[in-house]
Amino acid sequence: MTERRWGLTRPTEADIIKGGFSTPWDAPFIPPFPFRFRNCEILTVFYRTDPAATAFLTPPPVRSSGDVVAIHLYRMNDPDWIGPYHECNIMFGAEVAGRAGAYSPYLFLGSDGGVSHGREIHGQPKKYANPSLELRGDLIVGKVERNGIDVVTVTTPYKQRQADPAEMRRHFDFDTNLNLKAIDHIDGRPAIRQITSRRLTEVKVHGCWSGPATVELRPNAQAPVFRLPVLDPIEAFFWKADFTLVSGEIIHDYLGSK
């Protein structure tokens, strides 16, 4: 017999083992797929770095490709479940098992639910921080603050040249995001060791503008983005979009391959 209280249905064992289940079960923390992001504002900045640095930060069997880094600063204005927040994804071109994409060594965001979802489901190395995206007169400014230090500051002029969103893909395919997922059992044994992949779907770009970029990175041992040094800022894009986050794929299973 179904047991209900406070307008809730008590889960069965079958409910618990289904995909998308999250605790606490009467106020779940992790959103199930799919969930929609609406009216997002994004500053994407590309810069050239030391290819030895990207290679060092890439877990085998993933291989870094090229010497270009992308910093995405998001103002998530209206996402399902999580509510408004800011996020920063730092990535570079990479390839694994014949698939090209972008590997993320660092992600920062100001949402505890977003941190938990990214780490538990995608395996993204998310940490809590204070990213921001501001319009300051004729300048667009993106920042990441952690531990009282502005570890990332990127800028571009405000909407000087309308651009085709396809121009952003000329450096690498950042739609395919590769991540290293690592979760242990409670007894310390490795439970999950995977390279995962996800793509955004139902992407609708409402506007895109490009311009010159500046990139400043400051050292922080807990947010060490300075390990991808800025050799040459390339370009920046400010764009507005809606998209849907859906389930992804396991590209490589370290434990299953043994």
CB 201 within 8 A of CB 65: no
Annotated catalytic residue 126: yes
CB 77 within 8 A of CB 68: no
CB 74 within 8 A of CB 126: no
CB 24 within 8 A of CB 116: no
DSSP-assigned beta bridge partners for residue 161: 210
Name the phi and psi angles at 142, rounded to 5.
-115, 140
Residue of 126, 143, 181, 240 marked catalytic = 126
- Indicate if the alpha-carbon torsion angle 229, 230, 235, 238 is positive or negative: positive
Helices (H), the chain: 13-16, 51-56, 112-117
Based on the number of CB atoms within 10 Å of its own CB, is 136 exposed (0-12), middle (13-18) or buried (19 or more)? exposed
Question: Could you write out the three-class secondary structure of 150-213?
Answer: EEEEEEEECCCEECCHHHHHHCCCCCCEEEEEEEECCCCCEEEEEEEEECEEEEEEEEEEEECC
Tokens of 238: 């400010």
Active site residues: 126
